[in-house]
Amino acid sequence: MRVGLVGCGRIAHEAHVPAYTAAGITVAAVCDLIPDRAASAARATGAAVATTAQELAQRDDVDVIDVATPPSGRPDLLRELYRTGKPILSQKPLAYDLPTATALVQEAEDLGVALAVNHNARWAPAHCAIYRQMIDGALGQVYAVQHHNRFNEDVDTWYTRHPDYLFLDHGIHYVDLARVLTGRTPTAVAAVAGTRPGQRPAGPVIYSVNLRYADDEAPHVVLTFVNTAPAPAGFDFRLIVDGVDATAQATLFAADLLPADGSPPRTLDVLGEWTPDAFSGPLLSLTRHLTTGDPLPHSGRDHLASLAVAVAAAQSAKQAGAWTAVDHPPTEVTGSAHLAAYLP
């Protein structure tokens, strides 16, 4: 599959381009509203430069369109690209509000356009290492999932200007990851959020989120994020999955298995880092779907469930942490019975 890259900003240069290059994926064409950015991506990939997204999409050497533009103009852009009928991989979220995203998914389905969403946290190598342990049964029944992140995005830029960016643009990674790990979509969310004195972002930079599920067998899930840690030495990323037989824990770069029987911890194989190595997974999975007919785990329809949870969390935070219903059926995650489907 030959890909056309629409949007050549920071995430394209830091993640999409190096990931595709390492995976041997051909980037046939690129375009960006800023010509210098498109030219830079073209030099890195050997791709042709298109002056518009429409021109790129109509090229015979573009099989899949990768949309890596900001969410604000994404709905109109996607609707224009639907006209070509070519498969699309879009950055998340499809839109900041659930009704618009739902309409975009429905329109793609009505037109027969394959639409996938770049939930790249699913393919982060350390997370894949945990999936493999779950698949092998090393953890036993999972009863708790905890994600804790300390980072700093105290910046004034397009994504931090949205008042709910922490939930809808960044935190949605971890909401989606919780859905993959539990195999479920929560029915309600309770979230509290905070700000830092003098911060640049328009909305909260701190959250604590609890997820509630329809069945009593669901794991207990807690997500915490301090996105204004004052010093890089204080940055931290921890994913902890507790099972009755073992605990699996991961950082951005490593993962370990801690058996419950007291036997020595085991370092798991982690092949790369989230950025850029996770970014080839969504495109390769879409390619597999197109060539073999395998399920598309990160479809636009599946994305709506993760977006609904993130929206509910943002709403709950505005209501002092009141339990807020998720506006989506409590469906299982596509392919959750076989987590191997998520591996590169």
- Residue 280 in any domain: the answer is no
- How high is the pLDDT of residue 329? 85
Closest listed residue to residue 334, CA positions, set 301, 292, 289, 290? 301
- For residues 186 and 319, state if they share a domain: yes
The pLDDT value given to residue 332:
72
SS3 63: coil
Shared-domain flag, residues 109 and 158: no
pLDDT for the residue 280:
94
Q: Which residues pair with 324 in a beta bridge?
A: 189
Please give the pLDDT value at position 125: 95
Please report, rounded to a whole number, the percentage of residues in the chain having pLDDT higher than 70.
Answer: 97
pLDDT tens-digit readout, 207-216: 999 999 999 8
Interval 118-123 mean pLDDT: 95
Q: What is the CATH number of the domain that holds 320?
A: 3.30.360.10
Q: Which of 85, 120, 155 is the last residue of a domain?
A: 120
Task: State residue 338's pLDDT score.
Answer: 54
Is 286 contained in some domain?
no
Q: Do both 176 and 311 map to the same domain?
A: yes
Number of domains in the chain: 2
Q: Look up the domain containing 214 and give its range.
A: 123-270+300-342
> What is the rounded distance in angstroms from the CA atom of residue 295 to the CA atom of residue 288?
9
* Domain boundary, last residue among 96, 120, 144: 120
Query: Quick check: is 112 in a domain?
Result: yes
Single residue among 120, 151, 170 that ends a domain in this structure:
120
| Residues 329, 182 share a domain | yes
In order, the DSSP letters of 187-249 are SEEEEEEE--TT-SSSS-SEEEEEEE-SSTTSPEEEEEEETB-SSGGG-EEEEEEEESSEEEE
Task: Note the pLDDT tens digit of each residue in 130-146.
Answer: 999 999 999 999 999 99
Predicted pLDDT at 341: 66
CB atoms under 10 Å from CB of 34, counted, come to 10
CA gap 151, 225 in Å, rounded: 8
- Are 158 and 259 members of one domain? yes
Per-residue pLDDT band for 343 (boundaries 50, 70, 90) equals: confident
**Beta-strand pair 115-117/236-243:** unpaired
Question: pLDDT tens across 233-255, in order?
Answer: 999 999 999 999 999 999 999 99
| Domain match, 146 and 101 both | no
Q: What is the mean pLDDT of the chain?
A: 95
Q: Is residue 197 part of a domain?
A: yes
Looking at residue 104, the DSSP 8-state letter turns out to be H
User: Is 257 part of any domain?
Assistant: yes
180 in the same domain as 265:
yes
One domain for residues 105 and 204:
no
The DSSP 8-state label assigned to residue 181 in this structure reads H
Assigned domain for 9 exists: yes
Per-residue model confidence as pLDDT tens digits over 59-110: 999 999 999 999 999 999 999 999 999 999 999 999 999 999 999 999 999 9
Segment 308-342, tens digit of pLDDT: 999 999 999 999 999 999 999 887 776 554 566 67
CATH code of the domain containing 100: 3.40.50.720
C-alpha neighbours within 13 Å on the C-beta side of residue 268: 26
User: Looking at the domain assignment, is residue 285 inside a domain?
Assistant: no
pLDDT, residue 330, reads 81
- Same domain? For 30 and 60 the reply is yes
Parallel, antiparallel, or unpaired: how do β-strands 255-259 and 266-267 relate?
Answer: antiparallel
Considering the domain architecture, whether residues 147 and 54 belong to the same structural domain is answered as no
Which ranges of 60-141 would DSSP assign to H, the alpha helix? Answer: 74-82, 98-111, 125-135
Do residues 76 and 186 both lie within one domain? no
Are 113 and 131 in a shared domain? no
Helix 172-182 vs helix 125-135: angle between axes, to the nearest 10 degrees?
A: 20
Distance CA 119, CA 279 (A): 9
Please give the pLDDT value at position 1: 86
Distance CA 187, CA 210 (A): 11
From the DSSP assignment, how many helices (H) and strands (E) are in the chain?
A: 12, 15
- Residue 258 belongs to some domain of the structure: yes
